[in-house]
Amino acid sequence: MAAPVHAQPQKNTDYPAPSYGQGPVPPGQVPPQALGMMPVPQRPLGCPPGLEYLSQIDQLLVHQQVELAEALLGWETNNKYSVKNSIGQQVYFAAEDNDCCNRQFCGPLRSFVLHVHDNVGQEVIRVTRPLKCGCCCCPCCLQELEVQSPPGYPIGYVIQEWHAFLPKFTIQNERKEPILKISGPFCTCKCCTDVNFEVLSLDESASVGRISKQWSGMVRELFTDAENFGITFPLDLDVKVKATLLGACFLMDFMFFEHSR
C-alpha cells in the first residue's frame, strides 16, 4: 500500500498588515517616518477609526497653506491645512469643501465642510459649520460646529457662548453634554505675538490646554490669511475630545483670522 502523500504547505507570499512602527517594514515599502508622516499606532478599544493617531500625542501643529490666487488677487479659495505632531510629522490633511459663491460673498461667516484625511487618504474626521449671522451683540447669532467620525457619527460639538467682550465657547461630547470651556482674549488682533485661547475645565477653575494662533512673520501676516496654530491638551484626554478641539481651531481661524488682507 502506497504511503499517503502529504500536501506540502505553500509558502505565504502575502505580507501581514504593517504593525505601525512595531517591527520591520515589508520589503519595498517606505516607512512613514521617511516620508515625514507619523506612524499609525495600534487603535485603542472604543477609538473611532483614524483617531488612533491622537492617542499618543499631546500637541498638534496646524499650518494653513498659502494659496497664490488668494495672496495675489484676493480671490478666496478653499482652505487647506496640514496637521502635524510636535516633531513635524504629518498626522492629517484637512481641506475645505465649498462653492465659489459661498466663499466670495459670505467670507469668513460662510458655512463649510472640512474633510480631514489621514496619511493614506482615508477621511477620518468631518467638520461641519452651518451658516449663521456674525453679530456679536445678539445672543441668537452664535456660531456652532459639529465634528463627526465618518460616515456621519457625531463625536463632539463646539458651541459659542454669548459674552459682552470675550470670545467664549463650550466643548460638548457626542451627547451634547458640556465637558470643557474655551476662553479667548479681549483683542485677537495682536501684532508680533501669539493669540491664546485657553482650554479650561467646566467650572473654568483649571487650565486643560490651549489653542494658540502663532505669529507667522510680518510678510505672511500682512499679505495672506494663512495662519499657523498650536493645540495642546493632556495626553490621556479622550481622542474624540482632541478631535473636537481640532475642529474648534478651524472655527477660530474662520471667525477671527480669516479676513482679506
DSSP 66-96: PPHHHHHH------EEEEE-TTS-EEEEEEE
* 18 within a domain of the structure (yes/no): no
Whether the per-residue pLDDT at 192 is higher than 80: the answer is no
Residue 71 pLDDT class (50, 70, 90 cuts): low
pTM of the predicted model over 0.85:
no
Structural contact between residues 197 and 212, judged by C-beta atoms closer than 8 angstroms: yes
Report if residue 170 sits inside a domain.
no
Q: Is the pLDDT of residue 15 over 90?
A: no
3-state secondary structure of 51: helix
Number of domains in the chain: 1
Per the structure, the complete domain to which residue 67 belongs is given by 46-155+211-257
pLDDT tens string 115-171: 999 999 999 999 999 987 665 556 667 899 999 998 789 999 999 998 888 999 999
Q: Is residue 26 part of a domain?
A: no
177 found inside a domain: no
**Domain for residue 147, yes or no?**
yes
In tens, the pLDDT along 195-249 reads: 999 999 999 999 999 999 987 655 454 555 568 999 999 999 999 999 999 999 9
Residue 32 included in any domain: no
Q: Are 59 and 85 in contact (CB under 8 A)?
A: yes
In this prediction, residue 5 has a pLDDT band, given cuts at 50, 70 and 90, of very low
CB atoms within 10 A of CB 81: 24
Is position 136 within any domain?
Answer: yes
E-state strands within 162-206? 168-173, 178-183, 195-200
Say yes or no to pLDDT of 110 above 80.
yes
With respect to residue 199, please indicate whether it lies within any of the assigned structural domains.
no
